[in-house]
Amino acid sequence: MAQPYYETFQNIGNSGINVAFYTTPGGYRPLHWHEELEILYPLNGLSEITVEGTKYSLPKKQLMAVESMQVHSTFCYDQTSMFLCIHIARKHFQDCMPDIEDHHILCRPDLISVEKFPAYLEICQLLENMTRLYIQDATAFYLEAEGLTLQVLARLIRDFSTSVLPPDKKSDRLTANRLRDIISYVEEHYQEPVSLQDAADLAGLGKEAFCRFFKKNIGMSFLRYLNEVRVTHIYHDLVNTEDPVSYIMERNGFTNQKLFNRTFKELYGTTPSAVRKGK
């Protein structure tokens, strides 16, 4: 039986904290965003995280924080990747720290200074402790995981945050809103015909201006991004179904076989038929 694209082993909700252990096929997850602070802690291999156009290396047993509303993507080099992934809605903790949402956390391995490295290792150790408790199926795991998460959040705020000032330019907010709207639109409509004009209209720009805007802020053309989203969903269906490749392509909005094969190979380093054989 085919393995699911991802599997959630443990989950904490209703408290502003969500803790999950994932096993996913390696490869690419396209640009996305969320309202919560995200903490990524890979348990194996090497990953590359792109945050707002800048790429960061994320080795196993090291953490990276991705701020709320930041557009990001992930690429895992191993055939199978295991992650501890934590999402935190900070507004739930305003009673403890009224200005908690004014603190912008910047914690990425590539940017850790020598002075901050001991504090960084201490946070990594907290996440390692959480992983060990999960593997041991410890009694009251949920309670301990939530407590450890709060310690991680407190240390990130104390050692790796700066106060966020209100945006000086209205255009900054407009850019962020446009990008989030476009990404959400693609995720909802990637199975349908989506034109460059559709995206430009959504952003309130002419086609040429939209192309420049998207390339400048995302680092690739809009059509390339749309194709990457479609290919990742096709990969999911290849792993989880026995449907013919041509049918899966059509179902996910891809109509150009040659372009599909090239994009798939660039993202996953293999062919659709090889993925099928390796299930």
How confident is the model over 32-48, as a mean pLDDT? 90
Amino acid identity, position 176? A
**pLDDT the model gives residue 125:** 97
Q: Residue 86 phi/psi, 5° resolution?
A: -120, 130
Question: How many Å apart are CA 111 and CA 252, to the nearest integer?
Answer: 38
Confidence of residue 278 (pLDDT cuts 50, 70, 90): low
Note whether 186 and 229 are within 8 A (CB): yes
Count of beta carbons in the 10 Å neighbourhood of residue 48 = 14
- Angle at CA of residue 26, ends 75 and 54, nearest 5°: 5
Q: What is the DSSP letter of 269?
A: S
Helix axis angle, 170-189 to 196-203, nearest 10°: 140
Is residue 207 exposed (0-12), middle (13-18) or buried (19+ Cβ within 10 Å)? middle
Amino acid at 169: K
Q: How far is residue 54's CA from residue 39's CA, in Å, rounded to a whole number?
A: 17
Q: Please tell me the pTM assigned to this model.
A: 0.73
Give the separation between CA 81 and CA 5, rounded to whole angstroms.
11
The conformational region for residue 158 under phi > 0 = left, psi -120 to 50 = alpha, else beta, is alpha
Note the pLDDT tens digit of each residue in 122-168: 999 999 999 999 999 888 998 999 999 999 999 999 999 988 655 54
Strand ranges for 121-264 from DSSP E: 161-163
Please give the DSSP secondary-structure letter assigned to residue 60: T
End-to-end CA distance of the chain: 8
pLDDT at 6: 31
**What does the pLDDT read at residue 226?**
94
What residues pair up with 105 in beta bridges, in sequence order? 161
Structure tokens at 227: 């194709």
Neighbours of 153 (CB within 10 A): 25
- DSSP code of residue 12: -
Instruction: Tell me the C-alpha distance between 82 and 58, whole Å.
Output: 13
Cα(113)–Cα(51) distance, integer angstroms: 19
95-130 confidence digits (pLDDT tens): 899 999 889 999 999 999 999 999 999 999 999 999
Could you tell me what percent of the chain has a pLDDT over 90?
Answer: 54
C-alpha–C-alpha distance, residues 268 and 25, integer Å: 10
Tokens 């004014």 found at? 102
CA angle centred on 58, ends 54 and 60, rounded to 5°: 170
Give the number of C-alpha atoms closer than 13 A to the C-alpha of residue 42, restricted to the C-beta side.
23
